[in-house]
Structure formats: C-alpha cells, structure tokens
Amino acid sequence: MNTDFRKSTVYQIYPKSFRDTNGDGLGDLRGVIEKLDYIKELGADYIWLTPFFVSPQNDNGYDVEDYYRIDPRYGAMEDVEELIAEADKRGMGLMFDMVFNHVSTRHEWFRRAMEGDPYYKEFFFFRKGKENGDPPTNWESKFGGNAWEYVEKFDEYYLHLFDVTQADLNWANENVRKEVQKIVRFWMDKGVKGFRFDVINLISKAGFADDETGDGRKFYTDGPNIHKYLKELNAATFGHDAQIITVGEMSSTSLENCYQYAGRDAGELTMVFSFHHLKVDFMGNEKWVLVPTDFQKLKNILFRWQTGMEEHNAWNAVFGCNHDQPRVVSRFGDDEKYWKESAKMLATIVHCLRGTPYVYQGEELGMTNADFTDISQFKDVESLNHYQILQDKGLSASDALRIVQIHSRDNGRTPMQWDDSQYAGFTDEGGDAPWIGVNGNHSRVNVKAQLADPDSIFHYYQKLIALRKELEVISCGDIHPLAENHPSVFAYRRTYEGHELIVAANFYGRTCQWKEAPDLTGFGRVIGNYAEESRPADGVWILQPYETAVWYR
Ligand code: GLC
Ligand code: CA
C-alpha cells in the first residue's frame, strides 16, 4: 500500500451510521467490510473508524468501557480481523480511534475506583469540593454544566471534561500511561496501520483552580507535560513502526504547540487536527449562537496554519467535515441551487492544501445537514444538553431548536445514503428503522446515482484524490496564499521543484471578479467544476457562482 502520508487520503467512517447488515437499525463492522470496494474505488489509502469498542454509547462509543473488546452491536473480534485483512488485500490500512483522555464510568478502572480501591482512584481526578460546598473548580464540561460530579460516599468529586459518564484519566499517574501503551500495542499487533487520538491535547492538567476569565480550558489545553507524554507514547509504541500514521485531535490548540506535535523530527505524531477554521460561525468559542460565516477569518486561519506548519516542517490534517461537524456543503456552500458546484468547490480548496485530506462518509456525495424539524429526532448528548441550556437562558423552544438544527453534531451522523430505497440502503427494507433519521433527500443524493453520473461529486472527489498521488506539487509543494483580502475569492499557489499549481475558488453564489489574478500562460487546467474553462483576461478573472479551477504548469 501507499504509506506516504503526504500522498494519502483518509476516509472516515462513523460505523453506527455507515451500513447496517443485520437489520437492527445500527451500522456494523460487516457493513464496513461490505463497502470496502466502494472506498477503494474512491481512492482512499486509510480508513479511520470511530470507536466500536464495548461502550454504553452515551457518547456513541467515545465512552469506552473496554478497549480490548468489540461492542456486540458492531460485531465481534473476528469481524475486526477480517476487516483489517480485507482492507489490506485492497491496499488500504485501518486507523483506529483511541480515546485516552477519559473512560466510561462503566470501565473496570472506574468501577474499582468507586469501590474505594486506592490504586484505581489514582487513575482519575477525585478532589474535595470547596468549603462553601461548591465543586472543586468552576470549569465547564464541553457538553454543558459543571465539569465535576459529586460522589457522596467519598464526599469528593471526579472530573469529567465531557459527559458525566466520561471520567478523565490522570495521565500524571505512570500506571495510566502504561495501560494506554498496552492498548496501543495490542491493536498494532492486530495489524492496525494508524491511530487517531481523541482530544489528546487535554490529557495534561496544569492544576486545579477557578478560571476567572473562561470555562477552564486554559488549565488543561496543551498542558505542561503534553509533549513529554506524547513522546513517551511514541517511543513505547508506534514510533517503532515507520509505516504507522498518527493524528491527534487537538482541541482549542495553538500553532506553536502543533509545530511540535506534528513536527517532522519531534517524535510525537504524524499530523494534527485543529478546529479554529471551523469556528468561523461561532461567537468566539461560543458555538450555540447563530452568526454568519466570517469568510475573511476562515482564510486568515487556514493560511496562517498552512504557512506556519510549513515553516516548521510540521504536517496538518486538512478537512471540512467529520462526525462532530455540520455538513460542509450546508455550512459554507449552498445545499440547494448550487449544491453540486459548491460541494466541488469546497472539496477543491481542501484537497489541494498542504496536508493530508480527510473525507468523512457521505461528504463525497455532498450529503447535507439533517432535515430534522423536531427535537425528538436529535440523539446527540451535546445537542440535547444545550437545547435545555439555551431555554434555561431564556430562549424560546423554537429559537433553541433553530440553533441546534444549525450546529448539531447529528447533522453529520444521519445514515449514509447508498440508494433511494426506504432507508437509503443503510438498513435494508424490512429491517428496523435506523437509530437516527435518514435524510429525505436520499432519493436524489445517493451513491447509486452518483456512481452512474460521470459529473457527480463522487467522481470529482475521486479525481482530486488521484491528483494528489500524481502531482508532487500537491503532495509535497510549498503553499503561498493569494487574494488574501478579496471578499469572495479563495486562492493559493503551490510550488515544487519548478512545478506550479494555482487553485482558485469563488466562495459565493454570485459571479465575481478577481483583479490582479495570476498569469496562467503555459498552465493547463487539471480539474474544475464548470465545463467551460475560464481564465484571466488582462489580469481579471471572472469567476461564476462557486466556480473553482486548478491550473498546473
Ligand atoms: C472528540 C470526539 C467526539 C467526542 C469527544 C469526547 O471530540 O470527536 O465525538 O464526543 O471527543 O470523547
Ligand atoms: Ca447492525
């Protein structure tokens, strides 16, 4: 298989919503095996699966009860082994999702801690409350409410940065780190070719005090020992195998830390996910509001990370969608009139950047946000908590619902749309209803229709993925921002050993003019979303609604 991460593309699967083979309404591992040829046809090199380990599923598997066993709802160990072997036959590697900031409160370690076993109590953060009866600190859980849960029998609280059933692990305890290493080695021995480490930059806590100015994140984000812990994990496990790729999910991180997390010789990780570019429709860090996308900010952030990581020989993961995000075509594009054009435009911007692109299931079809109209259709713990919190703050139920419809993680979790049948081919007809509602637009947006259409979004992604393998200027080149202050154009130049690439996109649904566009003499168009080629005349490039094109010399 191709193991050069610069030339690779990763396909992300949320197994619960991908393909259900036994008609119980939940996606499963056999469903992933069944669809391997489809992923191969798209051209992906790695498949990242979100967690399918034993779990009460309060956070859809990010609350792990046992890292060594498969949740029977997803399948069995034999299915995992077969999946790894079948992917390998097709030249693809599996990448597993390791949740090590916290475990489910049903994990044996936590249960033993709750029995009062001092060895396991040290695996977590148990702390006394304040004199006045308040929790140890005022930190907020990322899913809403205070981040400490009271345990009466100890008269102590435990820390949970996420749901109350996700207890934070104490990485300062060497025994925790040893257990984590054991788990990683176990999956390496099974033939796993990569790891994604969930919110890994939150594992080193800087101490416990009230945050006078924020929600507490400054006490645990990119904490004091984070680089030490990652270097240690690397040296004890995947660092021995040059073929394994790793990506860290970095929450609210800084560029300065990311140089090191994903620096070429830092001995930490291969690459990082950062999220600042997906907060351009937030108010600061506040997600549960309705504000328009700040395009200038989006460009500034992406360019800053692109050039900053390049200067320090560090590597980005690049993406517009995942299981925690709304669908990018609904978010930054137009999922109606210019659905196809805008989906292709957004894909072009991401896939020609310097970094390893990630495609999230259904993104390659231009899948849109969920069409839910009632709160009962939403399943995500974060959405449901915030729906309540918004109303507690005085919003009406319908205003709260509107915000949830826009920002809910469930937008990315509706079943994969394989065909136009009752359940979109996720569950076969006659099976149980899928665990979360199928989008009504599956009659038109589905795999079957797009495989048959040479001009489909699917085929466009396929071509972008192939181009990254063909053109080293895409995989290895330097990046130079263009049109930095243009109100509608997103553009950049890539250069590599005398080769050049110009990527241009109109980010909006109105025709626009790009004055001072680059001279394209000697260039040829390698991909674009309009049949008719357009190029600058007298330095002015007129771009149609959502038009994008990539020119190469
Ligand atoms: C990451 C996951 C998300 C999960 C959270 C807590 O952000 O992507 O789905 O809820 O971590 O594990
Ligand atoms: Ca199933």
Using one digit for the tens of pLDDT, what is the confidence trace for 87-114?
Answer: 999 999 999 999 999 999 999 999 999 9
Checking if the pLDDT of 1 tops 90, the result is no
101 Cα nearest atom in ligand 1? 12
pTM of model > 0.95: yes
- Centre of ligand 1 from the C-alpha of residue 387, in Å: 19
Give the integer Cα–Cα distance in Å for 129 and 186.
Answer: 38
Give the integer Cα–Cα distance in Å for 253 and 507.
Answer: 27
Buried b (16+ CB within 10 A) or exposed e, 358-390: bbbbbbbbbbbbbebeeeeebbbbbbbbbbeeb
Cite the DSSP H helix spans in 160-254.
174-189, 226-236
**Residue whose token pair is 């060497």:** 174
Match domain 477-552 to its CATH number in 1.10.357.10, 3.90.650.10, 3.40.50.300, 2.60.40.1180. 2.60.40.1180
CB 527 within 8 A of CB 464: yes
- Centre of ligand 1 from the C-alpha of residue 484, in Å: 33
Q: In sequence order, which residues have a C-beta less than 8 Å from that of residue 541 and are 6 or more positions away?
A: 504, 513, 514, 517, 534, 535
Proximal ligand: closest to the CA of 29: 2
Q: Is 152 a catalytic residue?
A: no
Buried b (16+ CB within 10 A) or exposed e, 269-308: bbbbbbbbbbbbbeeeeebbeeeeeebeebbbbbbebbbe
Give the integer Cα–Cα distance in Å for 244 and 193.
Answer: 5
Buried b (16+ CB within 10 A) or exposed e, 76-101: eeebbeebbebbeeeebbbbbbbbbb
Checking if the pLDDT of 40 tops 90, the result is yes
CA-based angle 525:333:12, to the nearest 5?
85
Each residue of 420-469: pLDDT tens digit? Answer: 999 999 999 999 999 999 999 999 999 999 999 999 999 999 999 999 99
SS3 track for 345-386? HHHHHHHCCCCEEEEECCHHHCCCCCCCCCHHHCCCHHHHHH
By most ligand atoms within 8 Å of CB, the mutation choice from 49, 160, 162 for ligand 1 is 162
- Centre of ligand 2 from the C-alpha of residue 321, in Å: 24
Give the integer Cα–Cα distance in Å for 50 and 28.
Answer: 12
Give the integer Cα–Cα distance in Å for 420 and 326.
Answer: 22
Is the beta carbon of 410 within 6 A of some atom in ligand 1?
Answer: no
How much is the mean pLDDT over the chain?
98
Give the integer Cα–Cα distance in Å for 152 and 133.
Answer: 12
- Centre of ligand 1 from the C-alpha of residue 59, in Å: 8
Nearest CA to ligand 1 atom 7: 199
By most ligand atoms within 8 Å of CB, the mutation choice from 95, 169, 199 for ligand 1 is 199
Give the integer Cα–Cα distance in Å for 330 and 342.
Answer: 9
Q: In sequence order, which residues have a C-beta less than 8 Å from that of residue 36 and are 6 or more positions away?
A: 83, 86, 87, 90, 92
Is the beta carbon of 99 within 6 A of some atom in ligand 1?
Answer: yes
Query: 156: helix, coil or strand?
Result: strand
Rg, the chain, Cα only? 23
- Give 277's pLDDT tier (boundaries 50, 70, 90): very high
Checking if the pLDDT of 137 tops 90, the result is yes
Nearest CA to ligand 1 atom 5: 62
CB 170 within 8 A of CB 122: yes
Q: Hey, what are 105's tokens?
A: 């409160």
397-407 vs 381-392: helix crossing angle, rounded to 10? 150
Strand pairing category for 245-249 and 194-197: parallel
Partner residues linked to 541 by β-bridges? 514
Q: How much of the chain, in percent, has pLDDT values that exceed 70?
A: 100
Residue of 59, 65, 79, 198 marked catalytic: 198
Read off the pLDDT of each residue in 181-194 and give the average, rounded to a whole number. 98
CA atoms within 13 A on the CB side of 20: 28
Q: Hey, what are 534's tokens?
A: 């357009």
Read off the pLDDT of each residue in 136-143 and give the average, rounded to a whole number. 97
Give the integer Cα–Cα distance in Å for 191 and 484.
Answer: 44
**Residue whose token pair is 């298989």:** 1
Is the beta carbon of 382 within 6 A of some atom in ligand 1?
Answer: no
- Centre of ligand 2 from the C-alpha of residue 470, in Å: 38
Checking if the pLDDT of 293 tops 90, the result is yes
Proximal ligand: closest to the CA of 30: 2
Give the integer Cα–Cα distance in Å for 553 and 545.
Answer: 25
Read off the pLDDT of each residue in 530-546 and give the average, rounded to a whole number. 96
- Centre of ligand 1 from the C-alpha of residue 51, in Å: 10
Indicate the DSSP class of residue 194.
E
CA-based angle 239:245:246, to the nearest 5?
85
- Centre of ligand 2 from the C-alpha of residue 144, in Å: 31
- Centre of ligand 1 from the C-alpha of residue 199, in Å: 7
**Residue whose token pair is 């702390």:** 127
Nearest CA to ligand 1 atom 6: 62
- Centre of ligand 1 from the C-alpha of residue 201, in Å: 12
Domains of the chain by residue range:
10-101+174-463, 108-168, 477-552
Each residue of 482-516: pLDDT tens digit? Answer: 999 999 999 999 999 999 999 999 999 999 999 99
Closest by CA to 203, choosing from 175, 230, 237, 181, is 230
Which CATH architecture best describes the domain 108-168? Alpha-Beta Complex (3.90)
322 Cα nearest atom in ligand 1? 8
By most ligand atoms within 8 Å of CB, the mutation choice from 17, 105, 324 for ligand 1 is 324
Is the beta carbon of 62 within 6 A of some atom in ligand 1?
Answer: yes
143 Cα nearest atom in ligand 1? 10
By most ligand atoms within 8 Å of CB, the mutation choice from 17, 50, 55, 62 for ligand 1 is 62
Give the integer Cα–Cα distance in Å for 226 and 384.
Answer: 32
Read off the pLDDT of each residue in 50-76 and give the average, rounded to a whole number. 98
Proximal ligand: closest to the CA of 415: 2
Residue of 249, 324, 410, 500 marked catalytic: 249
Q: Hey, what are 15's tokens?
A: 């197994």
Is the beta carbon of 59 within 6 A of some atom in ligand 1?
Answer: yes
pLDDT of residue 496: 98
Each residue of 393-428: pLDDT tens digit? Answer: 999 999 999 999 999 999 999 999 999 999 999 999
CB 356 within 8 A of CB 315: yes
62 Cα nearest atom in ligand 1? 12
Q: Hey, what are 524's tokens?
A: 């040829």
Give the integer Cα–Cα distance in Å for 331 and 74.
Answer: 30
Nearest CA to ligand 1 atom 9: 324
Q: Is 198 a catalytic residue?
A: yes
382 Cα nearest atom in ligand 1? 10
CB 379 within 8 A of CB 35: no
Is the beta carbon of 168 within 6 A of some atom in ligand 1?
Answer: no
Cite the DSSP H helix spans in 115-250.
118-121, 174-189, 226-236
Buried b (16+ CB within 10 A) or exposed e, 7-26: bbbbbbbbbbbbbbbeeebb
324 Cα nearest atom in ligand 1? 9
CA distances from 214 to 54, 189, 209, 219 (A): 34, 42, 12, 10
Q: Any idea how long the chain is? A: 553
- Give 2's pLDDT tier (boundaries 50, 70, 90): confident
What class, spelled out in words, does domain 10-101+174-463 have in CATH? alpha beta
Is the beta carbon of 198 within 6 A of some atom in ligand 1?
Answer: yes
Is the beta carbon of 360 within 6 A of some atom in ligand 1?
Answer: no
